[in-house]
Amino acid sequence: MLTMQAENLEAEPLQQESPTVETWIIQDVLLRLGRPDDFHRVQVKPVFGNKYRVNVYVRADATSYRVAHSYFLEADDKGHVLASSPAIIRTY
């Protein structure tokens, strides 16, 4: 399971020698969705093969977070999203 905190989102791929598929999935999802103002993190859980559960968390209040968007998606070996249920729609 991979999670990425808000403050590390843009810098993460540049800091790693070989970014993981999950890192590229996070970037692709946020590129398509946009970035919520109250963004906390994106969580990527491998399900099987090239299928993943992706949850986008936002701050609910000062002490808690909630899942604002959840997707079951298929990605290629480079982390490009090929299909998503529900569809990822630009929201922010």
In DSSP notation, 15-33 reads: HSSS--HHHHHHHHHHHHH
3-state secondary structure of 50: coil
Is 72 part of a structural domain of the chain?
yes
* Chain segment 56-85, per-residue pLDDT in tens: 999 999 899 999 999 999 999 999 999 999
Q: How many domains does the chain have?
A: 1
Is 10 part of a structural domain of the chain?
yes
pTM comes to: 0.79
Q: List the end-to-end C-alpha distance of the chain, in Å, as a whole number.
A: 25
Say which DSSP state 18 is in.
Answer: S
Is 90 part of a structural domain of the chain?
no
Range of the domain at 51: 2-85
Is 92 part of a structural domain of the chain?
no
Contact 29, 35 (CB under 8 A): no
Contact 25, 46 (CB under 8 A): no
* Chain segment 5-58, per-residue pLDDT in tens: 544 444 444 455 788 999 999 999 999 999 999 999 999 999 999 999 999 999
